[in-house]
Structure 1
């Protein structure tokens, strides 16, 4: 009997071991869910999806949702799950629970089955996307993976969103993106439980939606003259007679396909038809829409101020807009239509006889009230068709349309004022939600708008302002990320700007406040990036980039270099000089001290693998370091850098002209005299300069060096010139002026700015260092 008991014990242990190997358990660190669920309990064991697993769906209308999982399985595992209506073991069951809120779901996973309950299609979509994230990342593979183990951890999840509006905006006007990319973006929105796609279809640089009653909107308005080789804001004005060749548009059939695709993913699509400004593409097609009736071209780049806008003094303008909106409403069945309302420069209205006549008839005090009249008419028309107008926060000026929803972009204040007036608000402030901003150092990033929005800043976003009353907070619908495409011409660049920042937005507007934890999120998003690799998303690794902060002690000439990355608890390794940076390089622990010419290279490593770009910073201790400097013409108060020693402090600027390392002059030469304080042998001067033509910063057209032994009598020893060249991005260039070796104590360097810019106006000159060798 004892032998039998012993054998039974070992047999039981063996069976338990088999069960555990077949249904492994997971730890909380294994769960990579973004956004974080409202509540989650992890249990031992797991559920395995096999060829025998079935979807159990009592309600046939939910059958189409199985594609969220089956499409993945078909590609990565080589099979998909059959759908049955009767309950069975080894199944994923979708069951309606009428007690749950519309977007809520519960998920119960055991070794025997997966039970997903919801009260709406939306809830089931979100629950299935959670199941997707619980599956191994390899399930995202587009090709079959051998020996793919499809385990779902045993969990109990109760989940619902914090905000009802969770949006992602794409600008397809400045640069056009085809419908397949839009559908791909919708897939990824659903993956992150975002539920609103803001489709920016109209702007100055392109009209992107077919309107059958007005065919020239796409025949003319959808195309512009190709100036893609130039910086967006340095592109010149086009001739209305020159045919545009760069662009594209969506047919109405394309739009129907996109809207249907979005609906299947639980995403509503809000079209934006801009007015009264950002409509030069429409006026290029139909000049009678403006106050002047003058032909214009679709612009190829930035326009400011925006004076070519719709004329509200003509009844034909409103007839046109109502016709357009009628066709738009037939294509987009949702509640909202976005009508823009932003950045209108109304100078033409002030001199337009038709506008002035209308203002007198309506008793309007100024053109601000005329714009309010314009938007109220559009809001009334939409309201008559059971639609709600959304406008950018400029629609607050002159009085809000009665039922309008405000999209607050110039900060939080517009949203605060709108909620105070009882209007619904969507928060999308530039400070947190403009994804066309740089997310890392411009030295390593693709061209972007000149401002910073790192991942952590996105994660700090909260659409509710603390000073709001309880009633005001009820009017905050949620938040939205905007990706404007002035600088984004490719799908890969678009993805780079969206990810991983879109994951941060998704979490902070879905998850409850107590779940918002930056450090916890960083661990999950780093693992989520591994899934993005399989999904073939071109995401940014900017948060891994090593950033350096350098200071110089002008008394000792010693530089202190502090290193960090945006992600906490990262392993930073570095080398000095020209040594190779490897996983075995020195581990950074305390700031580095440098007192002689050297190079610092550093990067973040994880498990022996480099993550992100290498920081590569050269510190050149030349002969003029910390020497006295005098200026003939004062540098701009807007760009002083660190003052009178800035050009001889070793510390160099980046491609970001606002980084505090650049001294700037406008419409003036930089004439700088350096006192070496004793006679020294010199033979070269190097001038570090920056160019960003879209911002009006240009390389110099002439540089010269003069030397002196007494500070009074100077002799020119070197000179160089440079002709203007088109440059679409930011660029740093060191101008080297070599001359015969000689003794000198004083050097006078004259740096002359570009005398004539392509678009007219003054040229900025930016200098970060003058090196004397």
Structure 2
């Protein structure tokens, strides 16, 4: 695509020689689809003007740019409608096509941003800001001569922000919007409603925010455990908050100025405990509040339709999200009214009743000139004809919907759940579930090959999802967003032919300084040291390799447990060792320690001769990698889904480790895991470690009865014992399983013991 260039620019480029001056190329995220640097540079001075028409939209954008120049370079430029040289000029062609495209040109006469709408101009300005930052590189507002033509690959470039689990203040939501805008994202999916918090004022049903927006805080319990709505002035500690209609109008307007559509989500038919504690008449007859609206009660539909009537007045955009995920259908199958509905509508099962519910609501949403979108579970039982699908359980739901002719937004949990860890370190802040690192996000492709060629236009784009079960603050939200949102922006904006991982790594390194200058609490996880240990059979030595995800910057380390510094040993080749080593490694960037350190003890005394005998076998689904997993030099992280944990339910963990030969030892250590909020894994009640020379008479070197810890957060309990150095051949470890989960636990059934990595030296 080529834009119209004003005649005076073409003439000036021909008749004036370019000043030759070298300016650092800072890199742009997301990568433009066409960029051509040329010799010469342009310096913005106090005599430079901003040329823009007198429209409200144009004037706002000009003032925003002027504020940026003032804050970063102490410049306050004159804004005028008169074309002139030495200017930053915006030209809008008012064409209907490619509203998000822009052309940015820097020449001797200044900067020209040419677009078909002010949205395109706005994106051009985001690029211009990156050309002028970070200040660590760009000291003065000087620009390379450059020609950039750009437009997005996908029309839906978004992120979902959950404010139900933990409420986010209005000004903090605006800061999230700022982060989206600087990355040329254009959708904020606002998860306003869920089981444990209602966050939007509804005049017809005031209890939704008087009571449904607040919950009792209960000791040693996560918000969703024994959830109980209350009032803001209720007894005991109360948590919550909500947005008034004026708050929402303000946020929607703030986002609109930055060309971001705010898509509200009103959950149905499940995930609705808060609403149903306020209005229990919409629960199935003779049922507990499982958070599911009664599908046999016409009042449920009237209630939700009245809510939607008020919601659409606040959100003027095409889509309305109705959730539709994880709907428990047991109450429906035991409800007389729901059973009657199924007979009357000739529905065969719970899935078809869910489809009936969604289709009925879709008709109403359509009547309000909106388009219904829901999570991929709305496919169950049959999808409404006009509905769009947001695919989170992998790509499969999106593939099915697109091939059936429905619009789709791809948001698979892997790699787009931003509440997952982005690094492998045990020092990462609280997260939920898996692991989505920076480059995994960067390589996200929203269009799988399984979608028919003539249906691929139904893929609108992609979206990250940031759930906040474990995230309570704006600072933590920023950490989980950044820099992964930067990677996603390029995955969704840039044409695949223009993407280059190594170039992105160079750019993200510069981008770190931009984010730092803006005061964002972003993650350095992609630069934290990671490790791999192998055994060289020829040299009879272990080999430790250190690296970070991006493969840049110095990793320095010590082998005596001391804290690394800039003068510590520089990692330049794999470390070979034949005796146990205490590794403490750290990445240094420009002389500063960044990211999380690596602190591990790596053993050497286990060999191919080592055998493990289990009194009670581990569960095959939690094998940790098999019998050798206990000493494979792969440490499990504080997540129940880490494949390095070895686990067994109900029974005790009891092993005898035959070292295969007499070995001189004075230390034994190992790890146990507990996470009450998400798993049935609990710490053992008692641990014993004993040693023997011949495997007959054992000497106890460690014994401890562990106190029960009711903390819901993940715990790794390190067990260590030092003893007099001696020769031995056998180690016996016993960890008592409590058998059954205690009454106060959120779950019922067997307790599990998870164990990993026996270390010796």
TM-score (normalizing by structure 1)? 0.89
Offset, 1:647:
2.9
Asked if 2 retains the 8 angstrom alpha-carbon contact of 1:626 and 1:645, the reply is no
**1:124-163 residue pairs with structure 2 within 5 A?**
124-138=121-135, 149-163=140-154
2:554 matches 1:571? yes
Q: What corresponds to 1:94 in structure 2? A: 90
Q: What corresponds to 1:301 in structure 2? A: none
Q: Deviations over 1:594-653 (max 9, x none)?
A: 211222232333444433232222224569996432111001111222432333455543
Across the two proteins, how many residue pairs are aligned to each other? 736
- Counterpart of 2:303 in 1: which secondary structure? helix
Offset, 1:329:
0.3
Asked if 1 retains the 8 angstrom alpha-carbon contact of 2:229 and 2:277, the reply is no
Q: 1:70 to 1:229 in 2, by over 3 A?
A: farther
Asked if 1 retains the 8 angstrom alpha-carbon contact of 2:531 and 2:544, the reply is yes
- Counterpart of 1:333 in 2: which secondary structure? coil
**1:271-286 residue pairs with structure 2 within 5 A?**
271-286=264-279
Offset, 1:398:
1.0
Q: What corresponds to 1:653 in structure 2? A: 636
Of the three residues 288, 292, 297, the one matched with 1:314 is 297
Offset, 1:427:
0.8
2:86 matches 1:103? no
Offset, 1:128:
1.5
2:521 matches 1:538? yes
2:585 matches 1:589? no
Rounded to whole Å, the distance in 2 between the matches of 1:239 and 1:324 is: 19
Rounded to whole Å, the distance in 1 between the matches of 2:725 and 2:530 is: 38
Of the three residues 354, 366, 391, the one matched with 1:371 is 354
2:205 matches 1:190? no
Q: Deviations over 1:348-406 (max 9, x none)?
A: 00011111111111111111111111111111001111100011111111111111111
2:513 matches 1:513? no
Offset, 1:684:
6.8
Rounded to whole Å, the distance in 2 between the matches of 1:699 and 1:95 is: 65
Q: 1:532 to 1:293 in 2, by over 3 A?
A: farther
Of the three residues 702, 708, 713, the one matched with 2:686 is 702
Of the three residues 437, 446, 454, the one matched with 1:471 is 454
2:54 matches 1:63? no
Rounded to whole Å, the distance in 2 between the matches of 1:48 and 1:250 is: 45
Rounded to whole Å, the distance in 1 between the matches of 2:115 and 2:414 is: 36
Asked if 1 retains the 8 angstrom alpha-carbon contact of 2:601 and 2:759, the reply is no
Offset, 1:316:
0.7
**1:245-260 residue pairs with structure 2 within 5 A?**
245-260=238-253
Offset, 1:439:
0.8
Asked if 2 retains the 8 angstrom alpha-carbon contact of 1:627 and 1:676, the reply is yes
Q: 1:500 to 1:742 in 2, by over 3 A?
A: closer
> Which ranges in structure 2 are unaligned for 5 or more consecutive residues?
1-15
Rounded to whole Å, the distance in 2 between the matches of 1:131 and 1:744 is: 68
- Counterpart of 2:433 in 1: which secondary structure? strand
Rounded to whole Å, the distance in 1 between the matches of 2:665 and 2:550 is: 45
Q: 1:240 to 1:631 in 2, by over 3 A?
A: farther
Asked if 2 retains the 8 angstrom alpha-carbon contact of 1:102 and 1:119, the reply is yes
Q: 1:676 to 1:134 in 2, by over 3 A?
A: closer
Q: 1:588 to 1:65 in 2, by over 3 A?
A: same
Rounded to whole Å, the distance in 1 between the matches of 2:334 and 2:523 is: 48
Asked if 1 retains the 8 angstrom alpha-carbon contact of 2:420 and 2:434, the reply is yes
2:113 matches 1:116? yes
Offset, 1:54:
1.9
Offset, 1:248:
0.8
Offset, 1:123:
1.0
Q: What corresponds to 1:287 in structure 2? A: 280
2:328 matches 1:326? no
Q: Deviations over 1:508-544 (max 9, x none)?
A: 1111111111111110011011011110111101111
Q: What corresponds to 2:11 in structure 1? A: none
Rounded to whole Å, the distance in 2 between the matches of 1:546 and 1:736 is: 24
Of the three residues 240, 258, 262, the one matched with 1:265 is 258
Offset, 1:102:
1.4
Offset, 1:574:
3.0
Rounded to whole Å, the distance in 1 between the matches of 2:664 and 2:601 is: 23
Of the three residues 742, 750, 755, the one matched with 1:767 is 755
Of the three residues 391, 402, 414, the one matched with 2:397 is 414
2:647 matches 1:664? yes
Asked if 2 retains the 8 angstrom alpha-carbon contact of 1:121 and 1:266, the reply is no
TM-score (normalizing by structure 2)? 0.90
Rounded to whole Å, the distance in 1 between the matches of 2:599 and 2:696 is: 40
Q: What corresponds to 1:733 in structure 2? A: 717
Rounded to whole Å, the distance in 2 between the matches of 1:114 and 1:742 is: 76
Offset, 1:590:
2.9
Offset, 1:80:
2.8
**1:481-520 residue pairs with structure 2 within 5 A?**
481-520=464-503
Q: Deviations over 1:478-522 (max 9, x none)?
A: 111111111111111110010000011111111111111111111
2:155 matches 1:164? yes
2:207 matches 1:216? yes
More moved, 598-607 vs 384-393? 598-607
Asked if 2 retains the 8 angstrom alpha-carbon contact of 1:57 and 1:85, the reply is yes
Rounded to whole Å, the distance in 2 between the matches of 1:416 and 1:736 is: 51
Offset, 1:92:
1.5
Rounded to whole Å, the distance in 2 between the matches of 1:585 and 1:737 is: 29
Q: 1:718 to 1:95 in 2, by over 3 A?
A: closer
Q: Deviations over 1:86-128 (max 9, x none)?
A: 2122221111224562111111212222221111121111112
Rounded to whole Å, the distance in 1 between the matches of 2:373 and 2:171 is: 27
Q: Deviations over 1:148-187 (max 9, x none)?
A: 6222322111111111111111111111111111111111
Offset, 1:294:
6.2
- Counterpart of 1:536 in 2: which secondary structure? coil
Rounded to whole Å, the distance in 2 between the matches of 1:530 and 1:484 is: 27
Rounded to whole Å, the distance in 2 between the matches of 1:600 and 1:87 is: 64
Q: 1:353 to 1:428 in 2, by over 3 A?
A: same
Offset, 1:312:
1.2
- Counterpart of 1:450 in 2: which secondary structure? coil
More moved, 608-617 vs 720-729? 608-617
Rounded to whole Å, the distance in 2 between the matches of 1:767 and 1:248 is: 41
Asked if 2 retains the 8 angstrom alpha-carbon contact of 1:557 and 1:625, the reply is no
- Counterpart of 1:261 in 2: which secondary structure? helix
2:38 matches 1:43? yes
More moved, 315-324 vs 582-591? 582-591
More moved, 590-599 vs 95-104? 95-104
- Counterpart of 1:645 in 2: which secondary structure? helix
Offset, 1:263:
0.7
- Counterpart of 2:622 in 1: which secondary structure? coil
Q: 1:367 to 1:652 in 2, by over 3 A?
A: closer
Rounded to whole Å, the distance in 1 between the matches of 2:545 and 2:312 is: 56
Of the three residues 303, 306, 318, the one matched with 1:335 is 318
Rounded to whole Å, the distance in 1 between the matches of 2:722 and 2:561 is: 25
More moved, 639-648 vs 403-412? 639-648
Offset, 1:722:
1.1
More moved, 558-567 vs 684-693? 684-693
Asked if 2 retains the 8 angstrom alpha-carbon contact of 1:72 and 1:139, the reply is no
Rounded to whole Å, the distance in 1 between the matches of 2:518 and 2:738 is: 47
Q: What corresponds to 1:425 in structure 2? A: 408
More moved, 204-213 vs 127-136? 127-136
- Counterpart of 1:446 in 2: which secondary structure? coil
- Counterpart of 1:92 in 2: which secondary structure? strand
Offset, 1:412:
1.3
Of the three residues 193, 213, 217, the one matched with 1:202 is 193
Offset, 1:707:
5.8
